[in-house]
Amino acid sequence: MQIIVDIGNTDAVFGFYNATSWQHIWRTPARHDESAESYERRLRLWLLEAGLPLSSVETTVLSSVVPALTPTMRAMLTELFGFAPVVVGPDIYPHLPIEVLRPHEIGSDLVANALAAYTRYQRTCVVVDFGTALTFTTVSGTGKLLGVAIAPGLKTAIRSLFANTAQLPEVPIEVPASALGTSTTHAIQAGVVLGYEGLVRSLVSRIQSELNGDCIAVATGGLSGQITSLNDVFSDIVPSLTLNGIRLIGEAVLSRGGSIRS
């Protein structure tokens, strides 16, 4: 069993992988002030609920875009399982079957998306990740990471609107029936959700045009399946794509003889 950990700006995602498929995927808020012991208790509980003894976990891989949480998670995994995790970072990227531009600037989640897409599709692909940030990561069919576009995520936009205005409420992310809002909630959903639909369509189309149309689009992230009006844009929707990429990075390290044992 492998445990794959993806620390994002909003959530920490823990995936349990048994060599052929994901058995369990758990999500919890990524809190900077939470201790390693607190995360350890939570992970122990998940393992117990899944009926998995600690001894069944053979490898752990950690990806984090929150530097303040990385030592906490590394310490927790090392203490719990008795060996250190593979930690995804720039030193690993040269050993991957993809070419990463500016490795010290790009987030490990974007590298994971690129590797997972390259491995899965073997053709030029733009991965649209609906997370705290809305990211567009394009990788070629030969494994070169061609570029990235980043915008605020849907929840980020709605929370920003709520936090910076006196009378506008925080609303659920739902696709409204019309762009003509007849209530405050409907109006925000029309502006933000339908606005983001236009953003995604436009940017995917622009990327495909710059690549002469030879590019498929794939969606991932926690909200990837929620805006169903975008389904025609995507050739595939894979919520676990980032976790798959992190897992593949760990396997690439270990296949080169890397050790995660203390």
- The answer to whether 129 is annotated as binding is yes
Cα separation, 151 vs 121, whole angstroms: 25
Query: For residue 161, what is the enclosing H or E element?
Result: helix 154-163
> Catalytic: 109?
yes
- The answer to whether 13 is annotated as binding is yes
- The answer to whether 8 is annotated as binding is yes
- The answer to whether 236 is annotated as binding is no
Asked whether the beta carbons of 22 and 15 are under 8 A apart, the reply is yes
SS3 29: strand
Cα separation, 248 vs 262, whole angstroms: 21
- The answer to whether 108 is annotated as binding is yes
33, 109, 232, 236: which is the annotated catalytic residue? 109
- The answer to whether 124 is annotated as binding is no
Q: Residue 133: which of 111, 155, 112, 115 has the closest Cα?
A: 155
The distance from CA 227 to its chain's CA centroid, rounded to whole angstroms, is 17
- The answer to whether 233 is annotated as binding is no
- The answer to whether 249 is annotated as binding is no
Amino acid letter, residue 241: L
- The answer to whether 243 is annotated as binding is no
SS3 146: strand
Q: How does DSSP classify residue 194?
A: I
- The answer to whether 132 is annotated as binding is yes
* Binding-site residue positions for ATP: 6-13, 132
* Binding-site residue positions: 6-13, 107-110, 129, 132, 184
* Binding-site residue positions for K(+): 129
* Binding-site residue positions for substrate: 107-110, 184
| Active-site residue list | 109
